[in-house]
Structure 1
Amino acid sequence: MPRIAPAEAPYATAIAAELERIMPAGVEPLILFRTLARNPRIFARMFAGGLLDKGALSLRQREIVIDRTTARLGCEYEWGVHVAFFAQRAGLDAAQVAATVQGVAEAPCWTEEEQALIAAIDDLVDRHAIAPAVWTGLTTYFDETQILEVIALVGYYHTISFLCRALDLPLEGYAARFPEVPSAG
């Protein structure tokens, strides 16, 4: 069980409306969302800061950022939900999904543009900054608005990962699981 029990229906009017807006029809609201609903202020602020709308990045680029960030932070909960809901729509194949967890930025399954994107994500997660050489690679493919969105997404999903892991949320039944690491030997 999570450390804070998720809210149960009936929800407050504003929370119910937001859950209905963001969840696909017929899908139970995520445990994360229902847990955040225990604090309506945090719930409202987190959704006000959400970045799943049409932004400067393509759906594929956005999902690479989210999947790589949450995987690097060990947040199987959020990674698995995003893979389940968005990987196919974003055109991510099985090798690419696995590479968000286990691969290096230069993995051959990625385009050069995606490699630059992943290098920036890795720098932000590992160093909390972007090294000059990585920045140069990023600016080769992305403009200022896109780079700002990348940084904001990594930061936002850092927070989401902290919430999921600190709350010890159980994995959603339909969500993807991290791929097994091949054994050496």
Structure 2
Amino acid sequence: MSQSTPRVAPLTQPYPPEIQAQFDRIMRGAPPLMLFRVMAGHARAWDKFRAGGLLDPGPLSLRQREIVIDRTCALNKCEYEWGVHVAVFAGPAGINGEEIRATVQGDATSPCWSLAEQALIAAVDALHHRATLSDAEFAALSAHYDEAQILEIMLLCGFYRTVSYLANGLRLPLEEKAARFPT
């Protein structure tokens, strides 16, 4: 899917000082991702994008957050964002190789998931396919997660669906150090 050139040209160095400072805060010294360089070239889109970011410490654990993000991106066939998150966060989140594969090739019944994670994956799948949760799905989620966590799960699914639209629709080339979908 990815080609060498995105459909919208990214910013190139030198970046305006305000943008460089934003990249430095977000990337913590690493070069800015292609997605960020494309978005930052359009002030309104960049501001809205950054305002929707959900990578701050929230009500979910790092592991829970990354399972939601990885599964959402996998369902949207967004190897770009999935690969960035797997490369950067899978290790710190304690997501192993079998679980990484299951975000792409498995489902809520994959044996690698705990009961709470099965409910999480089922919710992500339901939101992706139907944009809602059945009463049974909501009850299963509520057995393991509180209201703030459930809202965060829904926000993450929506935000990373949007990120998937951007990365896929813009045909962003895969980041060099990002993971690749399992074959």
Could you tell me the TM-score, scaled by structure 2's length? 0.96
Q: 2:17 pairs with 13, 16, 27, which one?
A: 13
Q: 2:115 pairs with 109, 112, 116, which one?
A: 112
Task: Tell me how far apart the structure 2 counterparts of residues 173 and 136 of structure 1 sit (CA, whole Å).
Answer: 41
Q: Shift of the alpha carbon at 1:21? A: 0.3
C-alpha RMSD of the superposition: 0.8
Task: Tell me how far apart the structure 2 counterparts of residues 14 and 159 of structure 1 sit (CA, whole Å).
Answer: 25
Residue deviations 1:3-37, cap 9 Å, x none? 01110122223221110001132x21100000001
Matched, 1:2 2:6: yes
Task: Tell me how far apart the structure 2 counterparts of residues 41 and 20 of structure 1 sit (CA, whole Å).
Answer: 19
Q: Supply the AA of the counterpart residue of 1:66.
A: I
Q: Which residue of 1 aligns with 2:26?
A: 22
Residue deviations 1:137-183, cap 9 Å, x none? 00000000000000000000010000000000000011000000xxx
Task: Tell me how far apart the structure 2 counterparts of residues 43 and 104 of structure 1 sit (CA, whole Å).
Answer: 33
Q: Shift of the alpha carbon at 1:94? A: 0.1
Q: Which residue of 1 aligns with 2:70?
A: 67
Matched, 1:81 2:84: yes
Task: Tell me how far apart the structure 1 counterparts of residues 76 and 134 of structure 2 sit (CA, whole Å).
Answer: 19
Q: Supply the AA of the counterpart residue of 2:57.
A: K
Runs of 4+ in 1 over 4 A off after TM superposition: none
Task: Tell me how far apart the structure 2 counterparts of residues 150 and 36 of structure 1 sit (CA, whole Å).
Answer: 24
Structure 2 residue ranges without an equivalent (≥5): none
Q: Shift of the alpha carbon at 1:96? A: 0.2
Task: Tell me how far apart the structure 2 counterparts of residues 174 and 56 of structure 1 sit (CA, whole Å).
Answer: 29
Aligned residue for 2:129, secondary structure, equals: helix
Structure 1 residue ranges without an equivalent (≥5): 181-185
Q: Shift of the alpha carbon at 1:104? A: 1.3
Percentage identity across paired residues of the two chains: 54
Task: Tell me how far apart the structure 2 counterparts of residues 87 and 34 of structure 1 sit (CA, whole Å).
Answer: 24
Task: Tell me how far apart the structure 2 counterparts of residues 133 and 106 of structure 1 sit (CA, whole Å).
Answer: 16
Task: Tell me how far apart the structure 2 counterparts of residues 19 and 41 of structure 1 sit (CA, whole Å).
Answer: 16
Task: Tell me how far apart the structure 2 counterparts of residues 15 and 70 of structure 1 sit (CA, whole Å).
Answer: 26
Aligned residue for 1:88, secondary structure, equals: helix
Aligned residue for 2:31, secondary structure, equals: coil
Q: Supply the AA of the counterpart residue of 2:24.
A: E
Q: Which residue of 1 aligns with 2:169?
A: 166
Could you tell me the TM-score, scaled by structure 1's length? 0.95
The number of residues matched between the two structures is 179
Tell me if the contact between 1:120 and 1:134 (Cα under 8 Å) persists in the aligned partners: yes
Q: Supply the AA of the counterpart residue of 1:11.
A: Y
Q: Which residue of 1 aligns with 2:101?
A: 98
Q: Supply the AA of the counterpart residue of 1:76.
A: E
Aligned residue for 2:107, secondary structure, equals: coil
